Each structure stands twice: as structure tokens, then as C-alpha cells.
Amino acid sequence: MNGGRTGWLGRLRAGLQRSSTALKERVLGALRRKKLDQETLDELEEALILADLGVETAHSLVASLKKEQFGKEVSEEGVREFLAERIAAILEPLAEPIPHRERYRPQVVLVCGVNGTGKTTTIGKLAKQAKDAGLSVVLAACDTFRAAAVEQLAIWGERNGVPVIRGKEGADPAGLAFTALERARAEGADLLLIDTAGRLHNKQALMDELKKIVRVLKKLDPDAPHDTILVLDATTGQNAHAQVEIFKSMVDVSGLIVTKLDGTAKGGVVVALARRFALPIHAVGVGEGIDDLRPFEARAFARALLGLDNGS
């Protein structure tokens, strides 16, 4: 078990390497003078903003560093250690796995996000994890306007040995969600994962569609969906903020999953999102592999982001 965790921490560090390398170089550049004066602090704040941690987070971290070490001799690694601890403190209250809600059968999880974030792949990986944990799972392919998304989900269903409820191309997504919940109930399934569309070019149509899915699900279960997860692509950096705002205006987003951290130097956006929206971060993805989507661990993430070993 520990070996598996060690392997995952290694993959997390490797996945965040582009982010950590960029951040380390910027921190090093800001700390040329060794003594922590105001000019150094200003450069460090700029370095953190450029690493996508966000203006508010960068200002808060630097203010904290100034309070404790202003005028003192500092080392580059010491500053990274300090920042990692403060970032972990921001993230820790929000590092929550997707809740397992035993009183609901099935637990209905609505998964949303713009096209291209890795939403369908994420659902496939979540289905495998749930199946490995002994849960019975049903998938619903409610992105009915993208044949590729339906086919992709069908492949994941086949691979994981779980049923996929799908309709004809262009079928009503809400009607399909209703059918999926009926079937999941009839089969006594533990979990229903619903894939949805993410076409932002017509925001109103997408909003109407998502709201209709929620409305129709509530006809069968007034508490459904029990979780609404937004999947974000880390490579979009600050654009992720706008996506959270847009989807929060459509549905009651209850948590986030951040994918593709291995493909970007913008991993700091996870910290900015946590500080701004205070939504639980359920999992992060650092690769295409089936095991590269894992529950979010705040301290491990913070240390990997700053290019530090796990230290535990």
C-alpha cells in the first residue's frame, strides 16, 4: 500500500515538474540579494502571480513571509519551504474525496465541464475506482450531441464492466438522465455517474439543458443530484476561474477535479481556485493512465508545486 502511495507521489512530482521548475526559477530570480528587503518581496509577489497563484494569494503569502522574516538572511529553499507550508494550509480544508453517500442508492453524481477538459475520461476513471471499491456503477452518456463522447464513455463502460445508458444522437439529455436513474434504481446500483455537455459557445442553451437535467432527476429523487462535480483543465490557467463562475451560475457545483496538471506550468491555479471559491478539491490528474487520477492531498501537492520532496 505504502509503495503505491510512494509511486503516486513520484508521479505527482513528475506531473507538476513544469509548474515547479517555472516557480523555482522565478523564486530564485527574486532572491538574488539573500536579505529579505521590500524589493525582493515585490519580485517574489510578481513571481507567484506569474505562476498562476492569483493576485490575492500571492499578496497574502508574501505578507506572511514579510511578517516573519523581513530584513533577515533567507535561502531560496527556505523560502520555498515556507511557501509550501502556507499553501498547504490554504488547501488542506478543501482536500476532500468525493463523499460516499450510503443513504442514497444510487448516489447520483452529475459531472460537468467544458468540452476538452477530460471530463469523459475522468468519469471512466472514477467508475473504475468505484468498481474496485466494491460499488456497483451505472454511467449515463448525456452529452448526446457529441457522438465521440458517447463512444468514449461506452469504451470505458466496457473496460470497467459497467452498464452505459445511451440514446440516439441528439436525444434529449434530461430524458436520458431520467431513464438512467430509473435503471440504476431498478438494478440496485450504488452509484450513477452522469456525463453532460460542455458547449460554452451557446451558454444559454447549455444552462437550460443542465437545469432541465437537474429538474428531471428531482422528479425521481428530490435530493438528486447528490454531488455536482466540475472538471477543470489546468492548462487553461486563469480561464479556469471563469469556468467555475459560469458553471456555478448554472448548477450547484459541489466540488472540483483538476486534470492535465502534467501538461502545464500553470499548476498554481489550483491554489488560486481554492482561495477564491473555497470548493472541495476531490481529485487531481497528472497523466493519461488509469491510476493518474487520485484523491487530492494538500501537503503533497504544495510541496510538489514548490519542487520539494514529500518530507514525510
What is the CATH number for 39?
1.20.120.140
Q: Do 126 and 78 fall into the same domain?
A: no
Tell me what pLDDT residue 5 has.
63
Tens-digit pLDDT profile for residues 39-84? 999 999 999 998 899 999 999 999 999 999 888 889 999 999 999 9
Single-letter residue type at 135: L
Most confident of 10-14, 24-28, 102-106, 195-199: 102-106
Which residue range forms the structural domain that includes residue 181?
107-296
Helix (H) or strand (E) segment spanning residue 257: strand 255-259
Structural domain total, the chain = 2
Backbone torsions φ then ψ of 275, nearest 5 degrees: -65, -40
Is residue 8's pLDDT more than 80? no
Tell me what pLDDT residue 129 has.
94
Tens-digit pLDDT profile for residues 72-131? 889 999 999 999 999 999 999 999 999 999 999 999 999 999 988 999 999 999 999 999
Q: Do 267 and 128 fall into the same domain?
A: yes
Q: Which of the 8 DSSP states describes residue 98?
A: P
Is residue 2's pLDDT more than 60? no
Q: Do 150 and 284 fall into the same domain?
A: yes
Tell me what pLDDT residue 201 has.
67
Q: Do 232 and 121 fall into the same domain?
A: yes
pLDDT band at 311 (very low <50, low <70, confident <90, very high): low
Give the mean pLDDT of the chain: 91
Is residue 310's pLDDT more than 60? yes
Tens-digit pLDDT profile for residues 248-261? 999 999 999 999 99
Across the range 262-288, mean pLDDT stands at: 92
Tell me what pLDDT residue 165 has.
96
Percent of the chain whose pLDDT exceeds 70? 97
Residue with cell 502556507: 86
Across the range 181-189, mean pLDDT stands at: 97
Q: Do 170 and 54 fall into the same domain?
A: no
Give the residue with greater pLDDT, 292 vs 157. 157
Q: Do 12 and 77 fall into the same domain?
A: yes
Q: Is residue 289 part of a domain?
A: yes
Tell me what pLDDT residue 1 has.
37
Tell me what pLDDT residue 116 has.
87
Give the residue with greater pLDDT, 93 vs 6. 93
* Structural domain ending residue among the three candidates 63, 94, 125: 94
Tell me what pLDDT residue 281 has.
98
Distance CA 9, CA 301 (A): 9
Distance CA 288, CA 293 (A): 8
Is residue 34's pLDDT more than 80? no
Q: Do 117 and 261 fall into the same domain?
A: yes
CB crowding 252-274: b at 16 or more within 10 Å, else e: ebbbbbbbbbbbbbbbbbbbbbb
Q: Is residue 312 part of a domain?
A: no
Across the range 153-165, mean pLDDT stands at: 94
Most confident of 22-31, 100-109, 200-209: 100-109
Distance CA 260, CA 263 (A): 5
Distance CA 175, CA 310 (A): 47
Tell me what pLDDT residue 131 has.
95
* Structural domain ending residue among the three candidates 94, 126, 161: 94
Tell me what pLDDT residue 82 has.
96
Across the range 200-220, mean pLDDT stands at: 90
